[in-house]
Structure 1
Amino acid sequence: MSDIELIAIVERYLNGEMSADERLRFEVLRRENTEVDSTVKEHQEFTNRLKQYGERLEFESLLNAIHDEIDVQTLKDEFVHHPSIIVRLWRNHHSKISMAASIAIFAVLGTLFFTGYLKTQDQQSELVAMRRRVDREVRSNENFRRTTTAMIKDIRDAKKSIDHNKYAGSGFAVSADGYIVTNNHVISGADSVYIQNSAGDEYRVKTVYTDPKYDIAILKIVDRSFTRLSSLPYGFKRTKSDLGEDVYTVGYPGDDFTYVPGNLSAATGFNGDTINYRISIPVNPGNSGGPVLDSKGNVIGIISARASQAEGAAFAIKSKYLQKAINAIPSDSLKSKINLNTRNSIASMTRVQQIKKIQNYIFMVKVYN
């Protein structure tokens, strides 16, 4: 008996089209032949899934209602200027989008079959094979409706994010496995925080630790698309830096990665504050959280504020307080211990070479409220 013939008999059985005698004989066959019994169960399950096509039509109505709710043209125009959001949505949902298309196609073909549109043996043979494929696909995607609803929520959240994000500051890596430091005031009060590298790749981060006293925040990249960085090229200076030293900072006072040179002008900050250096570097709010490096490429501090009483001056938290903040992080908050790098691979390089080497380790910090 061919598959087509067996399925035709199974359909008569499931549709109640057999006589009492035929039904009795077929049920005996089911008990004696496990392959026939398995085919009946599979076909019954497949038939039930096709009956859910009506539910999918209802779900389509829901999508249409959401479409009417969202100003699609405005959303499109805004997404064009925020490609990182599109990338994030695609990373999270491309498999679900593909699955949605597959289910819709198979459901329509199944409907055509049961309404008698597909009648030739070749067409039925193709549908038998198709039935098996779609059955496997649907079984592996039981959460299709729930995940699609989540996708819709992400689109709404993305729209909300566009309306409420601000480019708050800068940050830089303190370890190769995704721990980032920035200022506490940069991320304070945020609903969510993302960072973006010089290539435009955006990653979601969580706040691991904050120290308002030192104005330090430690973040951890939790985005699945993140790949471990290479070894940090810069080291962290533990000893005191001297007045007059050439220093520089890099960061994101705007959309572009920016370099600003200067020098260390005072060993203390505002009103003799010993936590900060004062540096002769003109900075903007977006520089907050960026590193201050000496001529050898060692991190000596973190930009924290612009000096309002002196034009072209800023304050930088000394690097030893970064170490204190890291030491204060509860061990259960860390996946791995953070050891500040003491090796420096850029000490003998020119300034231009140093900047090229460290650029991939400096991030724009985006805050969403």
Structure 2
Amino acid sequence: MSSELALIKRIEAYLYQEMSDEEMIQFEQERAANPALDSKVVAHLDFLKSLKNYGEVQDLKSSMKNFHQQLDIVALKEELQEKEPAFVIFFRKYKRNLAVAASVAILATLITLISTGQFRKASNSSTYNALKRDMESIKKSQNALIRNINSKSPNKEIAPSQFGGTGFALSSNGYLVTNYHVVQGADSVYIQNNKGESFKVQTIYIDPSYDIAILQIVDPLFESLSPLPYTFKKSSSDLGEDVYTIGYPRDEVVYGKGYLSAQTGFGGDSIAYQVSIPVNPGNSGGPLMDNRGNVIGVISGKQTQVDGAAFAIKSDYLLKAIENIPQDSLKKKLKINSKNSLASFNRTQQIKKMQDYIFMVKVYN
């Protein structure tokens, strides 16, 4: 409890600029390195704004009460009875005061609504949808599109999974990436390649703040892949750039094309891009590629009630998540490919070469 109070005091000293320059720099570095601390700073700032708005409303109420007490009701009544109708004389005499009071009241109300997010709640009826594939829901409500997602490798049979998504290779020796929300709460996870072969995997690292999960194939039947043909882009991509994705919204690989439509994700999320591209439940965890065959993001969700508004975690944050993996937790070295062999191929050829490195992720709870 005392440590929490000390943290709040530090946050307020930071917000009120009561720290020295050196302390400010140190605190900002802590915010950048600790998402939880950054969230607390933002939340406390919103709390202080709410207190300020509340105080303004109380001041308005006090001013209006004082205004009412200063009115000479008896004299006003006598004056109004002798002349024009009461409401006309009252309005003429006090219309300036009433206009000021009404304007202040309206302004205070608007500030309160904006600060508490009421306008956003009313106007932003669309929501963010993670694209994890609910196999049971598909069986019940979309019988025409049912695919039996049983995977049968030559040596074993895997029961139907409860949830599904997409993952793709980070290295040729069995490391893959998907979204954290795809494997969250899983008892066991398998992947299936484009040949129908299934392999058991383990989740070796998660970063919920980036919605990233790193998987490792631990199946004795798995043989290393050929060297990856794609690389991971470290710099930002440009607005309007052509992009495409490959994933498993059903039990066969599906290609979708589009363009980068915004530099930020849902609600201005800076760790994601918005892309105009067709995606469906099951696309979560799939790669977002540019024309040269660079991975620029990881498909994570879409916005409801808005056509073509999908979102992808930027590849830069995927690389940051990989850097944060404790090296002593890796049984094999995870080395990110730096050579791109797709750049000289057309889109159709790129897709053919990519398919061996993209997997259906099957989750069992």
Asked whether the two chains share a fold, i.e. TM above 0.5, the reply is: yes
Shift of 1:363: 0.1
- Structure 2 counterpart of 1:367: 363
Deviates most, 268-277 or 304-313:
304-313
Shift of 1:82: 3.3
TM-score, normalized by length of structure 2?
A: 0.58
C-alpha contact (below 8 Å) 1:167/1:364 kept by paired residues: no
User: Unaligned stretches of 5+ in structure 1?
Assistant: 1-79, 90-157
- Structure 2 counterpart of 1:259: 255
1:189 aligns to 2:185 (yes or no): yes
For residues 265 and 149 of structure 2, the distance between their equivalents in structure 1, rounded to whole angstroms, comes to: 39
- Mapping of residues 1-369 of structure 1, within 5 Å: 82=150, 84=152, 87-88=155-156, 161-162=159-160, 165-369=161-365
**Against the structure 1 CA distance between its residues 83 and 255, is the aligned structure 2 distance closer, same or farther, given a 3 Å change threshold?**
closer
**Against the structure 1 CA distance between its residues 81 and 332, is the aligned structure 2 distance closer, same or farther, given a 3 Å change threshold?**
closer
Higher helix share: 1
C-alpha contact (below 8 Å) 1:237/1:342 kept by paired residues: no
C-alpha contact (below 8 Å) 2:154/2:197 kept by paired residues: no
**Against the structure 1 CA distance between its residues 81 and 333, is the aligned structure 2 distance closer, same or farther, given a 3 Å change threshold?**
closer
TM-score, normalized by length of structure 1?
A: 0.57
Number of residue pairs aligned between Structure 1 and Structure 2: 218
C-alpha contact (below 8 Å) 1:253/1:285 kept by paired residues: yes
C-alpha contact (below 8 Å) 1:214/1:317 kept by paired residues: yes
Q: What letter is aligned with 1:257?
A: V
User: Unaligned stretches of 5+ in structure 2?
Assistant: 1-147
- Structure 2 counterpart of 1:73: none
Report Cα offsets for 1:195-244 as digits up to 9, x if no partner: 00000010000010011100000000000000000100011100110000
Report Cα offsets for 1:344-367 as digits up to 9, x if no partner: 001010100000001000000000
Identity %: 60
C-alpha contact (below 8 Å) 1:209/1:218 kept by paired residues: yes
- Partner of 2:343: helix, strand, or coil? coil
Q: What letter is aligned with 2:190?
A: Y
Q: What letter is aligned with 2:150?
A: H
Q: What letter is aligned with 1:246?
A: D
Report Cα offsets for 1:333-353 as digits up to 9, x if no partner: 112332322210010101000
- Partner of 1:84: helix, strand, or coil? strand
- Partner of 1:284: helix, strand, or coil? coil
C-alpha contact (below 8 Å) 1:265/1:280 kept by paired residues: yes
Runs of 4 or more above 3 Å deviation = 80-83
C-alpha contact (below 8 Å) 2:151/2:192 kept by paired residues: no
Q: What letter is aligned with 1:180?
A: L
